[in-house]
Structure 1
Amino acid sequence: MSPELLRSAYGDLSALVSDLRPEEGWQPSGCAGWSVLDLTQHLLDDARRGLVALATPADGPATTDAVAYWRSWQPSPEDDDSTAWRTRVRASVTGGLPGLAPLYAETAAAVVVAAGRADPGGLVATQGWVVRVDDLLSTLAVEAAVHHLDLVAHLDRPGPPPGALAEVRRVLGELLGHPLPAGWDDATAARRGTGREPLTDADRAALGDAAASFPLFG
């Protein structure tokens, strides 16, 4: 994946976060149990993951890629609850969105610069995996796009850029093993593919046995 796609995903998300009003931090997001403030803290954490990974060269071979990375991401409900609690505690001591938004903006900008300077075929380490830089950038863009949808789920704000949503759809299709239903636009594919929206009866009929694989990642 090209650095330009990450630049677009992070640029639009950073602009959104920077424009949020402090009181909007306590609005619910599309990520069940998470407020907008909680999710902004999580986005900062993921940008930091990207920055650290881009500065952590690794020896080969690669142990995951842009698709397999998500296949291994299946946290238990207990893990989800623990992560949500830790995230809420950290988000609550930052001074709210006015404290978090500039931290996210500067970290996201640094990731984009580092991504533009990195060798796309180079290997880096992240979360115990070894991955090509271009695959790392895909994971960052996919996470940004899905959580951008989460942030605006209950807010009248623009969603993620089309290129980032198309990358989410590509990854979900690879996880499923065949294309997602043609009647889903890319935002619907992202929400249903990750369990943000339930499958309809028509979806289940179209997907057949593959419906049992949903959500494809959480």
Structure 2
Amino acid sequence: MTTARLVQHRTTPTRPNIGPPLTAALPSPELAALRIAYSDIATIVASIEEEDSWLPTRCTGWVVRDLLVHLLGDVQRALVALATPAVGPPDRDAVTWWTGAEPTDDPDFRELRSLRTIASAWNLEDLVRTFVETTRAVVTLAGRTPPEALVATQGHVLQVVDLVTTLAVKAAVHHLDLVVELRRPGPRPEPLALVRCTLDALLGHPAPQDWPDERWALLGTGRVPPGGGERRALGPAAARLPLLG
């Protein structure tokens, strides 16, 4: 999926799983963005010490190692999805994937307690190595899979290019969460551009072009509240934030 396709996505995919053979896998901007996103996170976590892994993130109550375990779960799910062919038509794309997301509220802190238990049991070096190896496997397998191939994940069917896009978007957003206290660089332009296009599509129109991609990512995902000028620019749509969690 190109960034243009994100804006012009189909809200209800109807293409049946028939037609010409799948094309050979080719490099794509979406895959390049995913490779960058995973590589940058891997570089950051490989550079931290044990005490750094207990620093807070933007995710309420989560420390760095909690978030890394959560990211590892996403990467493992991606690896399974890429090895799980599905019969179409797809029922989600890179934008509608987020409209069916479950609420992120966790009043009883069940997810946090589960993450903390698992994260505490990991040796940091082993956790980092597993994350790095698994992300490399995902990028390699995605690069060998035709972008229009259909795969299944979390009860839905979507094209590989859409799966890759959602993974890059989530990685970029969590990259922003990860570095809030680590004093490491934020995401690069390529994954942030996919976040912007996804948020614009969910919003229904482009956000103001003078908003930096990182700022729109933080606003659109509810990481920071909009200021007065930003709220006026969004108008009634400001009440819809966050557009994705």
The two structures share one fold, judged by TM-score above 0.5: yes
Unaligned runs of at least 5 residues, structure 2: 2-27
Q: Give the equivalent residue in structure 1 for 2:37.
A: 9
Secondary structure of residue in 2 paired with 1:181 = coil
Cα distance in structure 1, aligned partners of 2:127 and 2:112: 17
Cα distance in structure 1, aligned partners of 2:206 and 2:77: 30
Cα distance in structure 2, aligned partners of 1:76 and 1:10: 23
How far did 1:86 drift?
A: 1.2
Q: Give the equivalent residue in structure 2 for 1:123.
A: 150
Q: Does 1:173 align with 2:200?
A: yes
Q: Give the equivalent residue in structure 1 for 2:106.
A: 78
Cα distance in structure 1, aligned partners of 2:222 and 2:171: 16
How far did 1:79 drift?
A: 7.2
TM-score when scaled to structure 1? Answer: 0.96
Is the 1:74–1:217 contact (alpha carbons within 8 Å) kept by the matching residues of 2? no
TM-score when scaled to structure 2? Answer: 0.85
Q: Give the equivalent residue in structure 2 for 1:62.
A: 90
Q: Give the equivalent residue in structure 1 for 2:7.
A: none
What stretches of structure 1 move > 4 A for 4+ residues in a row? Answer: none
Structure 1 counterpart of 2:149, which letter? G
Q: Give the equivalent residue in structure 2 for 1:182.
A: 209
Unaligned runs of at least 5 residues, structure 1: none
Cα distance in structure 2, aligned partners of 1:26 and 1:184: 32
* Larger Rg, first or second structure (1 or 2): 2
Cα distance in structure 2, aligned partners of 1:167 and 1:71: 16
Query: Which residue of 134, 140, 156 maps to 2:167?
Result: 140
Q: Does 1:100 align with 2:127?
A: yes
How far did 1:83 drift?
A: 1.9
Equivalent residues, number:
217
Secondary structure of residue in 2 paired with 1:29 = coil
- When the two chains are superposed, the root-mean-square deviation of aligned CA atoms in Å is 1.3
Cα distance in structure 2, aligned partners of 1:43 and 1:67: 20
Cα distance in structure 2, aligned partners of 1:64 and 1:79: 28
Structure 2 counterpart of 1:146, which letter? V
Secondary structure of residue in 2 paired with 1:216 = coil
How far did 1:189 drift?
A: 0.8
Q: Given the superposition, is the C-alpha separation of residues 181 and 80 from structure 1 closer, same or farther in structure 2, using an over 3 Å criterion?
A: farther
How far did 1:152 drift?
A: 0.6
Q: Does 1:90 align with 2:118?
A: yes
How far did 1:80 drift?
A: 8.1
Cα distance in structure 1, aligned partners of 2:210 and 2:197: 15
Percent identity of paired positions between Structure 1 and Structure 2:
51
Q: Which has the higher helix share?
A: 1
